[in-house]
Amino acid sequence: NKAAKKFNAFYSWKNQIEEFKTEHFSVVESSDSFLNKVDTKIRYKNFYYAVHYWEARWIEATKNALDQDNNWKNTENGTKERLKRFAMLCPCFVATFYMLPKMMQYTEYPSREINYLFDFVDLLIVDEAGQVSPEVSIPSFSFAKKALVVGDNYQIEPVWNVDGKTDEGNLIKYGLYKTGNLQRMEELIKKGYLSSNGSLMKLAQKSCSFQFKKEERGLLLTEHRRCLDQIIAYCNQLVYDNQLQPMSNLKYDLNDLLPPMGFIDLQGLAEKEGGSRVNYFEAEKLVEWLKINEIQIINWIYHKEQQESKNPAEIKKKQLHEIVGIITPFAAQKKCIGNALDINGYRASSFQFGTVHSLQGAEKDIILFSSVYTADVKTGYFFDSGPNMLNVAVSRAKRSFIVAGDVSIFKRGNQNTPSGLLGKFLKPV
């Protein structure tokens, strides 16, 4: 009877496989149709089966660990087996570079010394690698067999906690640099080695054998789907050498409420406040403009989303804070904008506003950029110290990027600066 049950179970399984093949693999002759089936049918079912298979494996493995009373032993083998059990349910662990070493540590007995599971992780994936300094990130690579590093050197840079003199002193101490060898220093800077100005992304590019273009190694993801074509054109020209392919489903019409790239000319008075800058008039008028146009903005976005949706009836009106984000170069101006929002009856905490760091990775239909500077400040604008700030700020906007400030500083004709190039794109609101 036992053999008969196994035999019947085998044939039942075999018949299911044959039915599955008949249903799903008869479309192989059409490559497009086959790929669609793979994505929507076959891959889904395989994932479903795999999830339940590994759930069953986890139940068995956890039962054995509990029976042997080694579920939480922090020896090398105990730690490895515990992490493998976790991976049966969740094969991807998420951690910061500060947390990961603690996850990978175990205790050696009888010495009770702390050691680490080097070369244990199958694949280390790093996101936003352009924001990470080398000394913070590199130690974690010792835990992994392979790494996939994802990031953008032209977006937010790392917060460097080591100064250039300390970097130079360490290089000299360990024989990696001789005083006055400028060519060697330029090479180290370019490749991202230094803790005072390097990044993990630059280091990864240096180590990658694949090269998309002469200047930089690595695979460039060229398809851009967030912003209107007219918005991402600025970023494309500023830093990406026109290699991005605009592929957004959003469309701009001449009768739209706001242009893709526009300005509200607010001059005010730029004042220094501590190590920051503030323009009270600009912040107040910016929020007043929002208040006056709130209903129009909400209705405009609602109708645009209905027009572009395959299911217009399912589209709901957004609130203003869901539509608008506000970016400024200065922390003091962020505080000023928050006060202006509260005074005008908004709840400032519901809005995303502040420096570019507060909207990194985010997106809004409309981005307002409070530039703070006025024409009396002739040069040395903070957002012109590199392309990163304006590249991030502009690329947060899906439908409209609006500069709210003294537009004359963007219209001075010097298109070699990020702000000068931006001025070429701006139209009056």
DSSP 67-106: HTT-TT--SHHHHHHHHHHHHHH-S-----TTTHHHHTEE
* pLDDT single digits (tens) 366-417: 999 999 999 888 778 999 999 999 999 999 999 999 999 999 999 887 788 9
What is the CATH classification number for the domain harbouring 327?
3.40.50.300
* Assigned domain for 208 exists: no
* Assigned domain for 229 exists: yes
Check whether residue 84 and residue 231 sit in a common domain: no
Per-residue model confidence (pLDDT) at position 412: 80
150-179 burial by CB neighbour count: b if 16+ within 10 A, else e? Answer: ebbbbbbbbebebeeeebbebbeeeeebee
> Which structural domain range is residue 280 located in?
224-428
For residue 427, the surrounding DSSP H or E stretch is strand 427-428
Q: How many domains is the chain built from?
A: 2
Per-residue model confidence (pLDDT) at position 37: 76
Query: What's the DSSP call for residue 269?
Result: -
Domain boundary among 38, 73, 91: 91
* Assigned domain for 116 exists: no
**List of the chain residues with pLDDT < 50:** none
For residue 398, the surrounding DSSP H or E stretch is strand 397-405
Check whether residue 370 and residue 229 sit in a common domain: yes
Check whether residue 418 and residue 275 sit in a common domain: yes
* Assigned domain for 281 exists: yes
Per-residue model confidence (pLDDT) at position 40: 79
Is the CB of residue 108 less than 8 Å from the CB of residue 76? yes
* Assigned domain for 100 exists: no
Per-residue model confidence (pLDDT) at position 43: 86
How far is Cα 281 from Cα 333, in angstroms, rounded to an integer? 11
Domain boundary among 40, 68, 91: 91
* Assigned domain for 77 exists: yes
* Assigned domain for 359 exists: yes
* Assigned domain for 239 exists: yes
Domain boundary among 70, 91, 112: 91
